Structure 1
Amino acid sequence: MKTIKTTILLAVLLMLTPILSNAQNQSFWVHEDQVKPSKQAEYEKVTKDFVEACKKHELKDANWAAARVDNGTYISIVPIENMADFDKNPLAPLMEKMGEENFRAIFKRFDACYDKHGDYMVHLIEDLSYMPNGLMSNTPGKDYRKWHYLYVTPSNAQALHTKIKEIKALYEKKGSKEYFRMYRSGFGTMGDYYLASVSAKDEQSYAKTSDENDTLLGAEGKKLFSEMFILLDKYEVKTGRMRPDLAYTAKQ
């Protein structure tokens, strides 16, 4: 049994090493709550109460962004440096200051809002992202999000990487105004995908910029995207908004 465990651990480390050793790719720990339709108002109230408790007790070493997907899923996004961050419990000081009973009461309220939740990692891939004015995931004034999931089988993963790079090069050459951040699925996800995240002020602004981009890229862009879609196992689009009111940033 010990040998089997060692083999599994080694296999996991080998899969993670190429990503974790690349310092330019920021990793994120994502927690996802699939909230019941009837419980979304309560979920947001509990989250705001939790954020207020964090502020009141000045929780340190804890920062997360928050978003709501239009299907009712809420996500918390935490930047991490390496896998060792999973061993830390940044909420321990909060429980100590609040008292264990009050702390657990908040999470009991959370638990009543969903039946399914979980955690996984994604990695921001700098050399595949297109943000000419500086790569950043925080886009003030542009909280609307369109997430394009590009699912791929292992046999086509490298070819897809190359094709995305060609598309980015075309965006650069044409001076496109449609910016995107490209993420890669990581530990804890089922299946392999690239994720293009596009920010906009609202749905109308996104549609206008997207239409203008299609015209700008022209036949060359249409050809590259057609070649990309051939490589995909599945394509999925989700929409939503970032929710700064449900996020928390520790005071420095």
Structure 2
Amino acid sequence: MFAQEGKNQAFWIHEDQVKPSMMTDYEKASKDLVKACKDNKVKDMQWSVASMDDGTYLSITPIENLADIQNMNFDDLREKVGDDSFTKMFENFNKCYDKHGDYVSILVPSLSYMPDGLTTNTPGQDYRVWHRMDVSPANMQKVQSKMKELKDLFASKNSKMHYRIYRSGFGNVGDSFVAVISAKDAMDYDSTSAENQKVLGEDGKKLFDEMFQHINAYSIKRGSMRPDLAYQSPQESTKIAKD
């Protein structure tokens, strides 16, 4: 998935908050769904998956507008496998969590720092760290301004820590930004983060301190992308290969 420089990209996120005791069952249900879609060449569907260490699973699909969400459905799969098999497939998911839901997240190129090209596809770097910042409406512009200053500082220092900035979109209650960082693994992330602090120095510490004055809550989650739980319909795979 690539984002054009200067153009925001929307993603439809389906979030499952899986019970600790049901993570194995959930992943089996996910793999069964992917296999059924592949075996039946299900059309007009695609998603990638990220799993967080706390049991949160995110199914992620790029969209052009909200109508895309309505148009992407499992009707093709239901027709090919039959109602009974289809219902059973999703019953296997439902027993794994008590909470799940959908929302939109917006990738913001103007705030993201990826000097080699803005992309969510980072081969060899499937490890992910999510830095979430909850912001009140009154402080959104102030935080965005500091994020632009930080991006300029990262660029001027030639920082090796690249990141993508997402802001909350439709379906979210409250405003937030999430900085997503890719790495090879936890050790790679930690070493890059430590080096980045040295590179940014006091200028970086000052800017982060100024930004955090306008943030209501801050949290970090770790996890990874899960290609084994992802699916792209044949026509989507062909389209992406041409991009």
Which category of TM-score, normalised to the shorter sequence, fits these structures?
Answer: over 0.9
How many residues are matched? 231
**Partner in structure 1 of residue 57 of structure 2:** 74
- Which residue in 2 is equivalent to 1:231? 214
Q: Counterpart in 2 of 1:103?
A: 86
Contact 2:12 2:62 in 1 (8 A): yes
2:224 matches 1:248: no
Please say if residues 31 and 120 of structure 1, whose CA atoms lie closer than 8 Å, have aligned partners that are also in contact.
yes
The match for 1:187 is: 170
Residue aligning to 1:145: 128
Identify which of 35, 40, 51 aligns with 1:52. Answer: 35
Could you say which residue in structure 2 is the equivalent of 1:121? 104
TM-score (norm 2): 0.93
Per-residue deviation, 1:187: 1.1
**Structure 2 counterpart of 1:213:** 196
Within 1, Cα distance between the matches of 2:18 and 2:39?
Answer: 26
CA RMSD of aligned residues (A): 1.2
1:136-188 alpha-carbon deviations (Å, 9 max, x no partner): 11111111111001111011100100100000000111110000000000111
With normalisation by structure 1, the TM-score equals 0.89
| 242-251 vs 47-56, greater mean Cα deviation | 242-251
Instruction: Write out per-residue CA displacement over residues 178-209 of structure 1, whole angstroms, 9 at most, x where no aligned residue.
Output: 00000000111121111100000111100100
Corresponding position: 1:134 with 2:117: yes
Letter aligned with residue 119 of structure 1: D
Instruction: After TM superposition, give the deviation of residue 63 of structure 1 in Å.
Output: 1.1
Shift of 1:37: 1.0
Runs of 4+, deviation exceeding 4 Å: none
3-state SS of 1:179 partner? coil
Could you tell me whether the CA contact under 8 Å between 2:129 and 2:223 is conserved in 1?
Answer: yes
Percent of aligned pairs with the same amino acid? 52
Structure 2 distance, partners of 1:76, 1:35, is 13
Q: Which blocks of at least 5 consecutive residues in structure 2 are unaligned?
A: 1-5, 239-243
Q: Secondary structure at the match of 2:213?
A: helix
Secondary structure at the counterpart of residue 231 of structure 1: coil
Give the distance between the partners of 1:121 and 1:172, measured in 2 at CA: 29
Cα distance in structure 2, aligned partners of 1:179 and 1:210 = 10
Unaligned runs of 5+ in 1: 1-22
Larger Rg: 1
Matched position secondary structure for 2:100: strand
CA contact (8 A) 1:60 1:90 kept: no
- 2:223 partner letter: G
Deviation at 1:75, TM superposition (A): 1.0
